[in-house]
Structures are given as C-alpha cells and as structure tokens.
Amino acid sequence: MPHKITLTGSATGPLREYDRYVAFDMREKGSPSAPKGLKKSTFISYTVFVAKKAFNKTGLTKKSIMHEKILIQGEPTLDIPIDECPGEIGVICFQITVLPNKKDKETNDSNDKQEASAAQQEVAATKQEEKPITASQPAAKEDKKEAKTVQPEVQQDPTEEKKAEPKQKTLPNQPKGTQDLLNFDDIIVPEAFLKTRPNAEKTQKVIDFVKRTGRLDEPLTIEKGSNVLKDGYRRYVVAKTVKMDKVPVVYEYQK
C-alpha cells in the first residue's frame, strides 16, 4: 500500500515555478503529546510539488498562497534534488484544496444577504410600477367630475413611459445586459476584493458554464473611466483562471 500524507496550513515560502509544475514550502508541528517514554515530535518542513494544471484550478496566486489555508493530499518522496526541495520531506501532491476561513464565510454570507435584499427591492419596485393608479372617491358630485377627467390621463402615463424606455442591446454571444467588452488586463481590482476568497463550489460552477458556453454567465460591473472593479469578483477570478482576453462589462458611472 503506497504511503499517504495530508498537510494543512499556508505556504511559508514563495511560490517557485518550473516547466510543468510549481513548488512551495510548508511547515507543520507534531502532536503536543507523545506516548510515555518517547520524545515529542518537533516541526517538520515540507516542499510540496503541484502540477500547474491542478494549481491553476484553485485560483491561487503567488501572493494569496501565503495567506490562504490549504489542504494537501499526496505521497512523501525523498528522491528530488536538494536545490528543488529545500524542505526535509518532499510531497508529490495529488489533490490541493483551498479551505474557507471564517472571514471568507462571513463575507459570502453578507454578499448573499445583500443580493437577496436587492432582489426583493427590485420585485417590490416592479409591483409598484404595475399597480394601476386610481383617483380617490370624493364626497361631492363636483369632485367626482374632476376625478373622471383626471383619471384617463393618469392611466396613460405608465404606457407612455414604457414606450419611451429604450431597449437594452446585448452583444452577440455575451450575457444579458452587457454594454461593452473590456480587455482583462485593463481591469483594476481593489485591495478589498483581493483579500477575499470566493466560494470554491460556486466558482467551479461558473468555470463549468464558461467551458460549456464559451462565455461568462453575467457581466462584470466596472466604474466608467477608471476601470475599477465594483462587482463580480468571482467572475473576474474565473476569467483569470480560464485566461480570457476580453470580458463582458456593464458600466457604473461615478457619483
């Protein structure tokens, strides 16, 4: 039966890139207690080797790998040259997973609540627009005549407004609401987004959608003029993972 090893924690050294794989260092401490008569285990340094294809699927970068908590499952090896494996033990990674932390969970819950609240407000606003406007019933006969005269004009306003609304155009093979296609490298991501980690399961669903359709499911929200990302960081990560040159965007104008 082959040897197996599992590590959890963050990288303790910078990411090193090779031809078909990447490598980084980790360190773990042994159990705080040992059987009577035996010495306690100390820190052991590991060098983890991951195939580039598997590493790119995680969405990790050279900066984020130093801060994210990750799970490594693989086999130990002692056959790799010391210049590539500074750790005491080398680990051939078969599976790498980004573990969610408390801050990410709170951020995702907050985003879900904001999206749900925005959806409820939109539905409420739509119902209010569709509700017909009727004049109140006056007590006097003269008021009734005035109400009858005013009521047809009020009923015509929503129809006129609907006719005046321009239809939003959608670019070919792009998600609904797309206003423009922007070069991926021109997008500026705020530091607040870079410190978060989108939910891995939801991110994978968007990646599967892109592979199936060849496009994102929704456009990114970009501030007009500055190209600063305002919303859609999960789709930004997906576009980076699948190496999209241009991404669909909708503009938000500066207030």
Average pLDDT across the chain, whole number: 79
Domain that holds residue 11: 5-32+40-99
Provide the whole-model pTM. Answer: 0.41
- Report how many domains make up the chain: 2
What's the 3-state SS for 65-119?
HHCCEEEEEEEEECCCCCCCCCCCEEEEEEEEEEECCHHHHHHHHHHHHHHHHHH
**Boundary-marking domain end, from 78, 99, 120:** 99
Is the pLDDT score of 241 beyond 80? yes
Domain CATH for 17 = 2.40.50.1040
Instruction: Find out whether 91 and 72 touch, Cβ atoms under 8 Å.
Output: yes
Strand partners, 172: none
State mean pLDDT over 81-102: 86
For 112-166, the pLDDT digits (tens) are 667 666 667 766 666 666 555 444 444 445 555 554 544 555 455 555 555 454 4
Residue 23 lies in a domain: yes
